[in-house]
Amino acid sequence: MAANNYRHALFCAIVTLIISFPILGFNLEAKGINITLTGATTSTIIAVILAAVAVFVFQAFRDSFMVMLGKLPNLNPLAGKEPMEQSKRVKLESWVLTGIVVFALFWPFLVSRGSVDLATLVLIYIMLALGLNVVVGLAGLLDLGYVAFYAVGAYTFALLSQYIGISFWMALPIGALLAGLTGMILGFPVLRLRGDYLAIVTLGFGEIIRILLNNWTTLTGGPNGIGGIPEPTLFGMEFGRRIKEEGNTSFHETFGIAYSGEHKVIFLYLIALVLAVITALIIRRFMRMPVGRAWEALREDEIAARSLGLSRTAVKLSAFTIGAFFAGFAGTVFASKQGFISPESFVFLESAIILAIVVLGGMGSQLGVILAAIAVTILPELAREFSEYRMLIFGAAMVLMMVWRPQGLLPMRRIHITLNKQG
């Protein structure tokens, strides 16, 4: 037993050395036009060796460590408490949500421009994650190409503004509808597939859209992207220093205040906030309608759902279309926020991150998904100090999260087990 432990510990320590030494022990340095490999400083090497020793010690005495950990008092104050009653929980949840929204309304006036900008991005991810939550969390269709619909929304706005000169408010419904339509068209042939096969095909579709955008240079500008996408206006008032379009007035002149670049950022944030709230409310409504129950039924047991007369295609297609619709929504906001888009913004990694948000938040749970969107977007920013290690930290955080709470931050809960006293 003990010998076994030491052998295992030695193995772990060697693996640590093998993995960390090439990564940390060598540096690439540019000398003139050549790149040379130089060894790292002694302190780094010592650190690597110390890490290996630490792994060895931990693995060798793991059992005693675990016993010690078990003796620590439980830090979770809620651990011993009974789960809340369903009605209470729902009430509390809606109060918390309302509180968050009210706070979010006033928050941008108190913080820096960079924070507001980041918050706008968070809201866009919230919209995306809420949309994907319908497809993955509720209907149980693993969609790895979700970013394609995001791209359709963004490019719809960009192209229409470039060629026809359409405004943000016109583009918003058009982009969302077009994304929804794309979802329906792409969905139709693939929805016979299930599980892994569906995932692979959706992955392919996501890439097709990106590659199409990349190579159709005459229309989309290819990898150069499209710039000069207009910002949203408030009843014909522009937020720039000078008016770009005739007939519009500028915001700061109308209200007789000094021009500030912050107005535009805050305005975009508020639009994103309103749209995110609308998205959440509409999807919440869908979840409580028969179609929402049909999604869940199909996820739980496809054969049973079909035996009740539900049409598999119609139910899956509705989920796919609605999910895509809100991705288009988010895409339009994104295009407007950036002012410039290129296919690079719509790579597979984006799909993966949105999916990670849904899974981390707890599939099907709206509040959970919102919290996860905030965490996943802000965490890499907070970890910026660690520069090149920040993605490493992010990855580690995700792994730990999945080990400790595989069901997500706030899993969807519908239940209410009432134990009847009976003989």
Partner 1 sequence: MSMLVLEDVHTHYGKIEALHGVSVEVNKGEIVSLIGANGAGKTTLLMTVCGMPQASSGRVILEGRDITTEPTAQIMRSGLAIVPEGRRIFSGLTVEENLHMGGFFNTKSEIRKSQSHVYELFPRLKEREHQRAGTMSGGEQQMLAIGRALMSRPNMIILDEPSLGLAPLIIKQIFEIIGHLRDEGITVFLVEQNAHQALHLADRGYVLETGKIRLHDTGKNLLANPDVQNAYLGG
| Piece of 47-55, 126-134, 154-162, 306-314 that binds partner 1 (CB under 8 A) | 306-314
Burial 122-142 (b: 16+ CB within 10 A, else e): bbbbbbbbbbbbbbbbbbbbb
Least distance to partner 1, CB of residue 417, Å? 6
Sequence-distant (6+) residues with CB within 8 A of 182 are 148, 149, 152, 324
Q: Is 381 in the site for partner 1 (CB under 8 A)?
A: no
* Bridge partner list, 209: none
| Piece of 104-112, 117-125, 184-192, 311-319 that binds partner 1 (CB under 8 A) | 311-319
Sequence-distant (6+) residues with CB within 8 A of 283 are 130, 131, 133, 134, 322, 326, 366
Please state the separation of Cα 419 from the chain's center in Å. Answer: 38
Q: Per the structure block, which two tokens stand in for 338?
A: 């950036």
Q: Is 297 in the site for partner 1 (CB under 8 A)?
A: yes
Please pick, from the candidates 47, 49, 51, 310, the single residue that binds partner 1 as defined by CB under 8 A. 310
| Piece of 3-11, 176-184, 369-377, 408-416 that binds partner 1 (CB under 8 A) | 408-416
Please pick, from the candidates 294, 322, 355, 409, the single residue that binds partner 1 as defined by CB under 8 A. 294
Least distance to partner 1, CB of residue 284, Å? 17
Q: Is 117 in the site for partner 1 (CB under 8 A)?
A: no
Whichever of 315 and 335 has its CB closer to partner 1, that residue is 315
Q: Is 308 in the site for partner 1 (CB under 8 A)?
A: yes
Least distance to partner 1, CB of residue 323, Å? 20
Least distance to partner 1, CB of residue 418, Å? 6
* Bridge partner list, 28: 37
Q: Which helix (H) or strand (E) holds 69?
A: helix 62-71
Whichever of 262 and 296 has its CB closer to partner 1, that residue is 296
Amino acid at 62: R
Alpha helices in 216-347 (DSSP H): 217-220, 251-254, 261-288, 290-300, 302-307, 312-338
Spatial distance between the Cα atoms of 151 and 131, rounded to a whole number of angstroms? 14
Please pick, from the candidates 37, 387, 418, 421, the single residue that binds partner 1 as defined by CB under 8 A. 418
| Piece of 165-173, 206-214, 230-238, 289-297 that binds partner 1 (CB under 8 A) | 289-297
3-state secondary structure of 23: helix
Least distance to partner 1, CB of residue 416, Å? 5
Cα dihedral sign for 365, 181, 199, 393?
A: negative
Residues 365 and 188: beta-carbon distance below 8 Å: no
Count CB-CB contacts under 10 A for residue 211: 11
Q: What is the dihedral of CA 87, 93, 98, 100, to 10 degrees?
A: 170
For tokens 């296919």, what's the residue?
343
Please pick, from the candidates 32, 73, 247, 309, the single residue that binds partner 1 as defined by CB under 8 A. 309
| Piece of 231-239, 295-303, 323-331, 398-406 that binds partner 1 (CB under 8 A) | 295-303
Q: Is 301 in the site for partner 1 (CB under 8 A)?
A: yes
Q: What does the per-residue mask of binding to partner 1 show for 45-74, with x meaning CB under 8 A? A: ------------------------------
Spatial distance between the Cα atoms of 239 and 357, rounded to a whole number of angstroms? 33
Please pick, from the candidates 293, 317, 338, 394, the single residue that binds partner 1 as defined by CB under 8 A. 293
Q: Per the structure block, which two tokens stand in for 412?
A: 């969807």
Please pick, from the candidates 81, 88, 420, 421, the single residue that binds partner 1 as defined by CB under 8 A. 420
Q: What are phi and psi of 323, to 5 degrees?
A: -60, -45
| Piece of 1-9, 15-23, 302-310, 371-379 that binds partner 1 (CB under 8 A) | 302-310
Q: Is 29 in the site for partner 1 (CB under 8 A)?
A: no
Q: Is 288 in the site for partner 1 (CB under 8 A)?
A: no
* Bridge partner list, 27: 38
Q: What does the per-residue mask of binding to partner 1 show for 312-331, with x meaning CB under 8 A? A: x-x-----------------
Whichever of 23 and 303 has its CB closer to partner 1, that residue is 303
Binding residues for partner 1, rule CB under 8 A, total: 25
Spatial distance between the Cα atoms of 221 and 30, rounded to a whole number of angstroms? 34
Enumerate binding residues for partner 1 (CB under 8 A): 290, 293-294, 296-297, 300-301, 303-312, 314, 414-418, 420, 422
